[in-house]
Structure 1
Amino acid sequence: MTEQKVVFVNHKLSLRMTGILRLPYNFDLSKNYPAIVVAGPMLSIKEQAQSTYAKQLTKAGYVTLVYDGAYFGESEGAPRQLESPSVKETDIESAVDYLASLPYVDKDRIGGVGICGGGSYMSVAGVREPRFKAIAAVVPAISDISKSPMMGFFRPAEEVEAEKKAYEEGKGEVTYLNFMPRAFDEGAAYYYTSRGNRRGYSNKAVSWSQLELVAYNVPAIMKDMRKPYLVVTGENAWSRPASEEVFAAVPDGDKKIVVIPEAGHFDLYDLAPFMDDAADELVSFFADKL
């Protein structure tokens, strides 16, 4: 396959974003190809789990795009490491803009894949972005954050509201939350080892990210999902309850959930055979729906 670094614009924020575009083997400029946007976990950068899946999908014949979200990695935006669901949605829309601008992309065959937090963001994009024809979410981890263990990462709202106000008035520094402590053994085994540690990655999120995250209720949005929808989770994934809750919120219709036997949450980022089984499910799903 061919890989190339690309730059496109988040038009709603007027920020330049950096991505990796992958083209299938034996790419022919005269042909039209189906394309897939792949969004990664919260705080992640383009070289992590999203690229692992993008490579598998490109091998199957899809043009794929991964990217650093606004405020992350090589993309523009300040303060750095702002984890905002509304911004993540504009990132996804901008990635679709870019793919749709390519002359060899079939604009009627664009799909989306998201992993972990990106699985939840991508699920919402499936409701709100009309150009997506089918959506797959791998271990989507955000359901109703106000009722999730993620609340343990957050600080009193009044404190972070004051920090946000001071920063915006030029009277204070950016403060951060630690979203991936080393004490979280399963996550540390990915993010702090050669499996997932990449230059430019940080486990920090701007503290006032929590103000939007705590109000982000994915199941309430997914009741309006009307497109083919696949959820892949792991039998032992800590995120499985959230994934199942998001899936259950989608009206009955063209939807499917797959549970990979024995797999934990982070196993499905990159470990064989779990990730390979998940990728096979995605390839089969998009072959049918795109």
Structure 2
Amino acid sequence: MIETPLEFPSQGTTCRGVLYTPDADSRNFPCIVMAHGFGLTHASGLAPFKEAFCKAGYAVFAFDYRHFGDSDGQPRQALSPSKEVADWLAALNFARQVERIDGSRICLWGTSFSGGLVIAAAAQDGNVQCIISQCPMMDGLASLLGVVGYAGIMQAMRLTWHGTVDWIRRWLGMSPRYIASAGRPGELGMMTAQDCQEGYVPLLAENASNYVAAGVSYTIPLFRPTRLASKVTCPALVLICDRDTVAPAKAAAKAAEKMLNSEVKHYPVGHFDVYRGDALDQSIKEQLEFLGRQLPA
């Protein structure tokens, strides 16, 4: 792959990413715009997808959200769903102007939390050619109830307490209150199911961290992409992990049913298993087949 660092503005903040192309001199590539999920950077475990897409003849523009990774924004590690949707729209509009990209042939690609973000972005933009949503978080409220289910109501109360402290600290001009993005069962963290620590931490790149500003515990339940799914009119591939402890499979299936032109693939694995092994290979195979039909290179 040829790698070209690029940057673009999003509501006054500079976001950064990398354009991956099969050839430095070719033009008019169909493009896959890509970003990672909850608190992660595009350098965190997405290389197999980038490489497979480029090998098949696609350009990939992978970026980091503001406040994370190589992008600007203070405070660091402060996740806002609405701001990240805005970053998606800014990245999409930027990609349409890049010289080597065919702006009329773009796919939005999201995984985990960004699997829901691409639904919101596609619904608002209304002009992308297709989307791929892998193990998507389609309903933040359902995810919170899932936390209550596996960790108990006290865990939800702890998250709420630390989230309140975080917002007060930031309102007073102090540094955020941080908590772990992923932890082991019983620990304080946004994701603490049995498979979260061992699934999340190995994905971390050098520019990513396993912590997030705790105020996100307030905003996650309010972010419900399933409510926007009916507004997605382009072809959509939704890849669901049936044993998902992070992004409830039922919510993902419900969102897919609302889309006018969706395809659904099920995998009998957990949330983080789709980034490795047979599930990864099968997922990439089916994604390439979908792209071959909807956005041929």
User: How far apart in 1 are the matches of 2:256 and 2:121?
Assistant: 14
Residue equivalent to 1:217: 224
- Backbone CA RMSD of aligned residues: 2.2
Is 2:34–2:42's contact at 8 Å kept on the other side of the alignment? Answer: no
User: How far apart in 1 are the matches of 2:244 and 2:165?
Assistant: 36
Higher helix share goes to which structure?
Answer: 2
Deviation at 1:173, TM superposition (A): 3.0
1:181 equivalent among 177, 180, 183? 183
Is 1:154–1:177's contact at 8 Å kept on the other side of the alignment? Answer: no
36 and 153 in structure 1: CA distance in 2 versus 1, 3 angstrom threshold = farther
Q: Partner amino acid for 2:181? A: F
Give the secondary structure class of the aligned counterpart of 1:164. Answer: helix
1:56 equivalent among 45, 52, 55? 52
User: How far apart in 2 are the matches of 1:156 and 1:235?
Assistant: 26
User: How far apart in 2 are the matches of 1:182 and 1:105?
Assistant: 42
Give the secondary structure class of the aligned counterpart of 1:119. Answer: helix
User: How far apart in 2 are the matches of 1:109 and 1:94?
Assistant: 16
Is 1:143–1:245's contact at 8 Å kept on the other side of the alignment? Answer: no
2:130 equivalent to 1:134: yes
1:281 equivalent among 274, 286, 296? 286
User: Higher mean Cα deviation, 280-289 or 61-70?
Assistant: 280-289
**In the TM superposition, what whole-angstrom CA distance separates every residue of 1:5-63 from its partner, at most 9, and x where no partner exists?**
222221x1x11112121001x4543x311001112111001211333322211111111
Is 2:226–2:251's contact at 8 Å kept on the other side of the alignment? Answer: no
User: How far apart in 1 are the matches of 2:204 and 2:111?
Assistant: 17
User: How far apart in 2 are the matches of 1:216 and 1:51?
Assistant: 28
163 and 197 in structure 1: CA distance in 2 versus 1, 3 angstrom threshold = closer
2:258 equivalent to 1:246: no
Deviation at 1:84, TM superposition (A): 0.9
Deviation at 1:145, TM superposition (A): 2.0
Residue equivalent to 1:124: 120
2:267 equivalent to 1:264: no
Q: How does 1:1-290 map to 2 (within 5 A)?
A: 1-10=1-10, 12=11, 14-24=12-22, 26-29=23-26, 31-145=27-141, 148-150=145-147, 152=155, 155=158, 157=160, 160-161=163-164, 163-170=166-173, 172-183=174-185, 184-193=193-202, 196-238=203-245, 239=247, 240-250=249-259, 253-260=260-267, 262-269=268-275, 271-290=276-295
Q: Partner amino acid for 2:6? A: V
**In the TM superposition, what whole-angstrom CA distance separates every residue of 1:159-210 from its partner, at most 9, and x where no partner exists?**
634642442332x3311232200344423223333xx232122222212222
User: Higher mean Cα deviation, 278-287 or 148-157?
Assistant: 148-157
Residue equivalent to 2:152: none
Deviation at 1:246, TM superposition (A): 2.2
Identity of aligned residues (%): 20
User: How far apart in 2 are the matches of 1:64 and 1:244?
Assistant: 27
Report runs of 4+ in structure 1 exceeding 6 Å deviation.
none
User: How far apart in 2 are the matches of 1:150 and 1:45?
Assistant: 24
User: How far apart in 2 are the matches of 1:157 and 1:265?
Assistant: 24
User: How far apart in 2 are the matches of 1:279 and 1:115?
Assistant: 12
User: How far apart in 1 are the matches of 2:42 and 2:60?
Assistant: 12
What is the TM-score normalised by the length of structure 2?
A: 0.85
User: How far apart in 2 are the matches of 1:192 and 1:212?
Assistant: 23
What is the TM-score normalised by the length of structure 1?
A: 0.87
User: How far apart in 1 are the matches of 2:224 and 2:89?
Assistant: 20
Is 2:45–2:204's contact at 8 Å kept on the other side of the alignment? Answer: no
156 and 7 in structure 1: CA distance in 2 versus 1, 3 angstrom threshold = closer
Number of aligned pairs?
279
